Amino acid sequence: MRLPSRYSLFPFLLWWPTVTRRTLGTDLLVGLSGAILALPQSIAYALIAGLPAEYGLYAAIVPVIIACLWGSSWHLIGGPTAAISIVLFTSVSPMARPGSDEFVALVLVLTFLAGLFQWLLGLLRFGNLVNFVSPSVILGFTLGAALVIALGQLPNLLGLELDSQRTAVATLLDLGQHLGQADWHAMLVAAFTLAVSLLCRRLWPRLPALLIGVVAGSLLVAALPGFFAGIRLVDAFEGSLPPFTLLHFEVNSLLGLLPAAIACGMLGLVTSLSIARSLAAKSQQLLDANQEVRAQGLSNMIGPWFAGSLSAGSFTRSALNLQSGATSPMAGVFSALLVAAFALFCAPLIAHIALPSMGAAILLICWGLVDIEGVRALLRVSRAEFVVMLLTLLATLVLELQTAIYAGVLASLFFYLKRTSQPRFKYTRDGDDELLRLEGSIFFGACHYVQQILQLSHGERVVVDARHINFIDYAGVEMLHLEARRLMAQNRQLVLRHARPHVIEEIQKLEGATCPVLFED
């Protein structure tokens, strides 16, 4: 059934009639919890991406509101994420100095390109295309990104000022050369922040442990200004709502950013849809993947005009949204509005945050990305997928992250094609007939393997149990005709038993009534 055009243009009209004063009150409280969680994360992710701190807050405002109102999921909340932030940094830092106006401008253009790519996928109803990025690739990439982020934050924890490097290996080598210059004062602040955050998580799990740890570490530095005189602080900025920002499109920049934009767009969609599907399964909500893809694209197309860098679904904020009892996407909207209020009225507080404290908080975020149980489950279930995960992980450490995504996808497709190109056969004898049970489709990639099996078969009649053949292409049809005529020259027959009607129709199209392949029920 096709929805009226007003619902296609404004999908929030579908659920808006269910909003009441009571549900708004509930969603406001849930949004407050989400905003408290978003504040330290957004600032941390901005620093990971090489952006000024305020841009983390900007990315958690306009893009989040658009994604909530135009999306399909009632509980998915987006914003800056760790993995996407590190990809932004590694993609743009070779083109401009991190933190500079040129760097910020390039990040916003990349965000627009990624959003345009996402929106076009949704418009063409290619939402399921992201399924070709396997969970093993995402798992390997997430583990690798966690290591890359952690290595990138070690200079802040050690009180070092080092130039950014393009790969994790280069960062580790550079860090090793300057390890003797580490400042133990910075390490003390980082250790104190970690201790407070972990203690808070253990004793009061419902409180925002990251925020409390960062505040505690920063208060320690402020309380002993003489002792911690050399500790660097987050750069100050003037409190304001997300400013309208003109994007500058230059041909050379566009060509240079396009590969990274596609990688970021795919990564954002896979992350967002995976989270949305997980939440929908728990809440029993019907999810429209193509609408969600369009919403993510729209948020990233409009967001950069309001200084918002690339956003995607956040698992921690989305899970909190569901667990806290959000009744509609208004919880995400309230969360974004409360972050905007903080950016407007509380910006001076950010200038008192100690960088070692923020680095420690980012380390905890990285640890949360490490899915040990997922790795163990993958190893138990599929060795091939485990290899894909390892290849993706290694690629993130030795290559640039957007290249690592492509490497992981190619490795996943390689193993998938290897499996499908060698469908399973089971041999049995039925008198003078040799019965072959084929489990898989016959397409151009599998033709050679199937042909070899048929050529090695014996018996006056080679009978193929074809009930599990769901698809056959021209190459498969031509191969079966050739094998059937070869068997006819030997006074033998090729018979397909229990073949599906559409498979029979495709095979008979080539030569019509003279088709050499026989069929049985």
pLDDT digits over 200-241, tens only?
888 988 777 877 888 899 899 989 888 888 888 877 777 788
Q: What is the pLDDT of residue 155?
A: 85
Which CATH architecture does the domain made up of 422-519 adopt? 2-Layer Sandwich (3.30)
Residue with tokens 């990624």: 114
Interhelix angle for 21-48 vs 135-158, to 10°? 60
Average pLDDT, the chain: 84
The stretch 2-10 carries a mean pLDDT of 64
Q: What is the pLDDT of residue 130?
A: 63
Task: Name the DSSP letter for residue 104.
Answer: H
- Note whether 434 and 493 are within 8 A (CB): no
Give CA–CA dist 298/408, Å, rounded. 27
- Note whether 112 and 304 are within 8 A (CB): yes
Give CA–CA dist 410/133, Å, rounded. 9
Q: Is 205 exposed, middle or buried (0-12, 13-18, 19+ CB in 10 A)?
A: exposed
Residue with tokens 């009978």: 463
Q: In this model, does residue 126 exceed pLDDT 80?
A: no
Q: In this model, does residue 269 exceed pLDDT 80?
A: yes
The residue ranking higher by pLDDT, 382 or 430, is: 382
Q: What is the pLDDT of residue 289?
A: 81
- Among 54, 53, 55, 50, CA closest to 97: 50
- Note whether 507 and 496 are within 8 A (CB): yes
Output the pTM of the full model. Answer: 0.68
The strand pairing partners of 464, in sequence order, are 436, 496
Contacts of 299 (CB under 8 A, 6+ apart): 62, 63, 64, 66, 67, 70, 78, 115, 311
Query: In the chain, what percentage of residues exceed pLDDT 70?
Result: 93
H or E segment and range at residue 437: strand 433-439
What per-residue string of b and e applies to 176-202 under the rule 16 or more CB within 10 Å gives b? eeeeeebbebbebbbebbbebbeebbe
Three-class secondary structure assignment of 305-362: HHCCCCCEECHHHHHHHHHCCCCCCHHHHHHHHHHHHHHHHCHHHHCCCEHHHHHHHH
Q: In a 3-state reduction of DSSP, which class is residue 277?
A: helix
Task: Name the DSSP letter for residue 99.
Answer: T
Give CA–CA dist 368/7, Å, rounded. 38
Q: In this model, does residue 429 exceed pLDDT 80?
A: no
H or E segment and range at residue 194: helix 184-203
What residue ranges do the domains of the chain occupy? 23-369, 379-420, 422-519
Give CA–CA dist 359/374, Å, rounded. 26
Strand 78-79 and strand 312-313: pairing? antiparallel
The stretch 438-446 carries a mean pLDDT of 87
Amino acid at 183: D
Q: What is the pLDDT of residue 1?
A: 44
Contacts of 37 (CB under 8 A, 6+ apart): 208, 210, 211, 316, 317, 320
Contacts of 505 (CB under 8 A, 6+ apart): none
Rounded to a whole number, what is the distance in angstroms from the first to the last CA of the chain?
A: 37
Q: In this model, does residue 148 exceed pLDDT 50?
A: yes
- Note whether 360 and 156 are within 8 A (CB): no
Q: How confident is the model at residue 281 (pLDDT cuts 50, 70, 90)?
A: low
Interhelix angle for 383-398 vs 372-381, to 10°? 140
| Cα 95 → chain centroid | 24
Q: What is the pLDDT of residue 411?
A: 77
Task: Name the DSSP letter for residue 446.
Answer: T
Give CA–CA dist 117/131, Å, rounded. 16
pLDDT digits over 329-346, tens only?
999 999 999 999 988 888
- Among 310, 333, 204, CA closest to 264: 310
Token output for 158: 């050690």
Give CA–CA dist 310/287, Å, rounded. 23
pLDDT digits over 353-369, tens only?
888 888 888 788 778 76
Query: In the chain, what percentage of residues exceed pLDDT 90?
Result: 23
What percentage of the chain's residues is helix, strand, coil (to nearest 5)?
65, 5, 25
Q: What is the pLDDT of residue 62?
A: 94
The stretch 101-117 carries a mean pLDDT of 95
pLDDT digits over 159-178, tens only?
887 766 667 777 788 788 87
pLDDT digits over 396-426, tens only?
888 776 677 677 777 777 877 887 888 888 8
Give CA–CA dist 382/402, Å, rounded. 25
The residue ranking higher by pLDDT, 478 or 288, is: 478
| 110: phi then psi, degrees, rounded to nearest 5 | -60, -40
